[in-house]
């Protein structure tokens, strides 16, 4: 009878840890991994920006890159105005309709 109680106690510890491990695996594949992939693609996009690219800032401003350095980006807006932004404030790049075809 004493041995039966010991084996039940040992099994219950494994039964408590199992759901936590399963929860971590689910969180990894549903939350952590997709966020890492999104961050990686954004960093690649920011590194590949060059002069003449049409971009949209995080605030929704559309412009064309006039000058770009490691951390600063100068955009031309409305063919007259030049605005300076941090490189990280670029949301995404816009491709022309001609380049999509």
Domain ranges of the chain: 1-48, 51-100
- Asked if 36 contacts 44 with a C-beta cutoff of 8 angstroms, the reply is no
Specify the pLDDT at position 96.
56
Specify the pLDDT at position 10.
52
Collapsing DSSP to helix, strand or coil, 96 comes out as coil
- For tokens 């399963």, the residue is 22
Q: What is the DSSP letter of 20?
A: H
Model confidence, pTM: 0.69
Specify the pLDDT at position 98.
45
Segments in the chain below pLDDT 70: 1-11, 96-101
Architecture of the domain spanning 51-100:
Roll (2.30)
- For tokens 């031309």, the residue is 76
The Cα angle at residue 28 between residues 26 and 32, in degrees rounded to 5: 135
d(CA 32, CA 23): 12
């Amino acid at each position: 009878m004493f041995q039966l109680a010991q084996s039940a106690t040992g099994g219950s510890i494994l039964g408590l840890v199992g759901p936590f491990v399963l929860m971590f695996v689910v969180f990894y594949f549903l939350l952590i991994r997709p966020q890492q992939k999104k961050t990686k693609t954004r960093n690649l996009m920011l590194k590949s920006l060059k002069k003449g690219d049409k971009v949209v800032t995080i605030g929704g401003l559309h412009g064309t890159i006039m000058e770009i350095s490691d951390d600063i980006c100068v955009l031309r807006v409305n063919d007259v105005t030049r605005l300076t932004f941090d490189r990280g404030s670029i949301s995404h790049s816009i491709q022309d309709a001609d380049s999509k075809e």
